[in-house]
Amino acid sequence: MIRPSSQGFLTILALFTLANPANSANQAQAIEPEAANILRQMSDYLGSLQQFTFRVETAIDSITWSGQKLQSGAHVDVAIKRPNRFRADRKGDVGDQEFYFDGRRLTLFGKQVNYYANMRVSKDVDIDTALDLARDEVGVILPASDLVYQDAYQAMMEDVKSGMVVGSSIVDGVDVHHLAFRGSEVDWQIWIQKGDKPFPRKYLITSKWIAGAPQGTALLSDWNTAVKLDDARFTFSPPPEAHKIGFIPLRGGYRAGGTQ
């Protein structure tokens, strides 16, 4: 889940140098109303959807001790059912994992190693709170998670100092608005589909103060808002011989590895 704040992708990780000097001159140190309005339209639209699925293709940079930039990738199939269900199936360079929230438990399952961990939450926890708990308590992040918050606009604009409409572009054959925003610790860009279905189609974050300026990029596709999601899809059933372990908590105050 990419997140444009000091907490990162939702930790995943400057704007590209604009070739046209006139464009550079127009990069005001304020948030252009049109940029804010387009982002708000996307947020309101996604927040209004009660259940939907989409695919994320991620490319994430890491910096070695020698200063070399390496990139890893993954594809993630995400299912959302408001108010309190989500699932992400991730397969990539660093593992094959399933991440569930069934309204009462957060569960992470490593398919290759056949280990799983879960954390029990209170019954009134919604998707937003569950995503925060997973990130803050045990360091588990749903890819592109800030886009699926009920009010994605508020989450994404928390640290923004300036923003602008770069122009029109095309992502995967789709006409999009290209927006760029700057924060105190990260800069980020987002490409939003034009028309009455303003889906995010691409999302890029640059970490400004880490040597090498690593980036995290997400391409979003296969949006399906007509899908009917059964609650069973969000319930984890351990396969035979699966081993239960505990999450490693990042801080005190919440018991990780709760009852299955």
pLDDT at residue 63, as a whole number: 85
pLDDT on residue 226:
97
Whether 4 maps to a domain, the answer reads: no
User: Stretch 182-195: mean pLDDT, rounded?
Assistant: 95
pLDDT at residue 257 tops 70: no
Contacts 24+ apart (CB under 8 A), 178-182: 179/35, 179/38, 179/39, 180/15, 180/35, 181/4, 181/31, 181/35, 181/156, 181/157, 182/14, 182/15
pLDDT mean over 178-204? 96
In terms of Cα–Cα distance, which of 194, 198, 191 is closest to 217? 191
What is the pLDDT confidence band of residue 240, given thresholds at 50, 70 and 90?
confident
**pLDDT, tens digit (0-9, with 9 covering 90-100), for 192-239:** 999 999 999 999 999 888 787 888 899 999 999 999 999 999 999 999
Report how far apart, in Å, the C-alpha atoms of 235 and of each of 41, 46, 104 are: 32, 23, 10
**Quick check: is 13 in a domain?**
no
Peptide bond into 83 cis (omega under 30): yes
Measured CA to CA, the distance from residue 58 to residue 62 in angstroms comes to 13
The total of other beta-carbon atoms located within 10 Å of residue 107's CB is: 24
pLDDT in tens, 98-137: 999 999 999 999 988 899 999 888 888 999 999 999 988 8
256 occurs within a structural domain = no
Helix (H/G/I), strand (E/B), else coil: 155 = helix
Asked whether the CA dihedral 81, 155, 252, 123 is positive or negative, the reply is negative
In a domain, residue 5? The reply is: no
55, 54, 7, 33: which is closest to 205 by C-alpha? 7
> Cβ atoms within 10 A of the Cβ of 96, count?
14
pLDDT tens digit string along 31-76? 999 999 999 999 999 999 999 999 999 988 888 888 888 888 899 9
In a domain, 255, yes or no: no
Contact between 132 and 124 under an 8 Å Cβ cutoff? The reply is no
pLDDT at position 13 = 29
Residue 2 lies in a domain: no
pLDDT of residue 187 exceeding 60, the answer is yes
What is the structure's pLDDT at 135?
87
253: in domain: no
Tell me whether residue 14 is in a domain.
no
- Indicate which CATH number applies to the domain containing 135: 2.50.20.10
* β-strands 186-193, 160-171 pairing: unpaired
Domain limits for position 87: 28-244
Predicted TM-score of the model (pTM): 0.82
**For residue 24, which phi and psi values (nearest 5 degrees)?**
-60, -40
Q: How many domains does the chain have?
A: 1
